[in-house]
């Protein structure tokens, strides 16, 4: 009988330990979901005055990529006309539903290196496949959104 009590106690302890381990941080937090490579599908601007929305799609020879890394760094890559490519490193932080990207003030990291440029976004949508970022402070008359799909980790 004592053996059965010990076995049942050990099984209960193992089940409890597994249960507690499974309650660790889920991977559906914005900090985890944003990590990966994202391709811009289109941008949209919605007027506050008449609520009309204009969508802008990229040309066939144009590609915008955002890459967010676990260490809170990343890069933006803009390719157009096959061989012309702009590349910009950045750091980022997320607080609630606000994403802040900070990069050198000058394109492609060139220049004096003394200043930085910060852009702030509201995360309107973020899941394993799709992200919609709304630029804050863009314009008091309209909302500007970047619509992206995940293309890799």
What mean pLDDT is predicted for residues 136-147? 80
Tokens read off for 97: 């539903």
Distance set, CA 139 to CA 17, 26, 100, 142, 143 (Å): 52, 35, 17, 6, 7
Q: Would you tell me which CATH number, out of the four given (3.60.15.10, 2.40.128.280, 2.30.110.10, 3.40.190.10), belongs to the domain 27-152?
A: 2.40.128.280
**Total residues belonging to the chain:** 153
Per-residue pLDDT of 56-97, as tens digits, reads 877 777 888 999 999 999 999 988 776 777 888 999 999 999
pTM of the model: 0.71
Residue 41: CB atoms within 10 A of its CB come to 16
Over pLDDT 70: what percentage of the chain? Answer: 72
Burial of 68 (0-12, 13-18, 19+ CB in 10 A): buried
Under DSSP, is residue 58 helix (H, G, I), strand (E, B) or coil? coil
- Domain extents for the chain? 27-152
């Amino acid at each position: 009988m004592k053996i059965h009590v010990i076995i049942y106690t050990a099984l209960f302890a193992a089940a409890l330990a597994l249960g507690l381990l499974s309650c660790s941080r889920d991977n559906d937090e914005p900090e985890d979901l944003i990590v990966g490579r994202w391709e811009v599908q289109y941008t949209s601007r919605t007027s506050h005055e008449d609520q009309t929305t204009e969508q802008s799609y990229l040309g066939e020879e144009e590609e915008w990529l955002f890459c967010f890394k676990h260490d809170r760094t990343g890069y933006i890559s803009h390719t157009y006309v096959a061989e012309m490519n702009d590349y910009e490193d950045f750091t980022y932080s997320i607080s609630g539903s606000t994403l802040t990207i900070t990069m050198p003030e000058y394109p492609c990291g060139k220049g004096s290196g003394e200043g930085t440029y910060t852009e702030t976004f509201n995360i309107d949508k973020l899941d394993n496949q799709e992200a919609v970022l709304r630029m804050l402070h863009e314009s008091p008359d309209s909302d500007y959104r970047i619509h992206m799909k995940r293309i890799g980790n």
